[in-house]
Amino acid sequence: MRWLNILVILLTLFLFYGCTSGPKNKVPYKYRTEAQVKMECEAEIAKNAQSRANAGSDAGNFVLGFVEAMMEDWACDPLK
């Protein structure tokens, strides 16, 4: 039973560190130019400023606001 616990711990550590240390894209503006990123980011910010998610405080508006914030983050990410 002790060996099984050690085996589970080792496999968990192996999977955690093996899956998180993949190659990262560190070249900014690889797929889009700086002007495209700026244009899309400003458009997404302007769209979210006029959103109805800011009008209320129920769960639906919270989820909508969260999704819109994620879309804004993706639009402003130069590595996307």
pLDDT per position as a tens digit, 20-75: 656 666 677 778 888 998 999 999 889 888 877 666 667 667 778 788 888 888 88
The pLDDT of residue 79 is above 80: no
Both structure tokens of 1: 């039973």
For residue 16, the SS3 value is helix
When pLDDT is averaged across residues 5-29 and rounded to a whole number, the result is 73
Taking each helix axis from N to C end, the angle separating 59-75 and 34-49, rounded to the nearest 10 degrees, works out to 160
Nearest 5°: CA angle at 31, between 27 and 32?
Answer: 105
In degrees and rounded to multiples of 5, residue 17 shows phi and psi of: -75, -25
Tell me the one-letter amino acid at 20: T
